[in-house]
Amino acid sequence: MAGDLIREVRRGTLTHLKADPASVALVPAPNMHPSTTPPTPSWPFSRMDSFQSTALDVSCGDGAIVTFQLHAFAKPKMQGAVVLDTAEDQASRMGTAFKIAIHNKRVPIDGGWSARLKVRSVRLLRDGDEESAYHAVLSVEARVLAA
C-alpha cells in the first residue's frame, strides 16, 4: 500500500520548483514555502495548501491522485512613489512560470516513484490580506502510480 503520498508530492514539487531557473528568477528559492509561511514572509513568495489524496488502485500496482493548490503572492515593485511593476502583472508572470515548470512534468518523489503533475487551472486575484497585493492560484493534480 502506497499511503496517501501527500508528503512525498509536496516535497517533490517544492524541490522541483526551487530547481527551475524561470521560477526562481521570479520567486527566490528561500521564499518558496510548503504549507506554512513565516509570520512576515519576504515578498514575493509562494506556498502550497489544500492537499487531498484519493487512492489509486489498479491491477499493476497502487498509488494516489493528490490534488493541491500552489499560490504565488506579489506586491507592486516601487521606486519611491513610482510603480515600476504592478502586483497583478508580477503575480500573473509567477503563475505562468510555475505552470510551465510543472505542467505535464514528472517529478521524482521519495520511495523511488515519480508524480506526473498537471495544472488544472490558474486563477489571478487580489490578495484578501494585503490591499496592494495579488496572487496566482494554481490547481494541481499529481498522479502517482507505485508498481
pLDDT, tens digit (0-9, with 9 covering 90-100), for 79-137: 999 999 999 999 999 999 999 999 999 999 988 889 999 999 999 999 887 888 999 99
The whole-number pLDDT of residue 129 equals: 77
Q: What pLDDT is attached to residue 113? A: 87
pLDDT in tens, 2-30: 678 999 999 999 999 999 999 999 999 99
pTM above 0.85, yes or no: yes
Confidence of residue 145 (pLDDT cuts 50, 70, 90): confident
pLDDT of residue 130: 81
- Residue 1 confidence (pLDDT) above 60: no
Residue among 40, 34, 29 at smallest CA distance from 9: 34
- Number of alpha carbons in the 13 Å side-chain half-sphere of residue 142: 32
Domain ranges (residues) in the chain: 6-146
pLDDT tens string 39-65 = 999 999 999 999 999 988 776 677 899
Q: Which CATH architecture has domain 6-146?
A: 2-Layer Sandwich (3.30)
Beta-strand relationship, 82-85 and 77-79: antiparallel
C-beta separation of 121 from 129 below 8 A: no
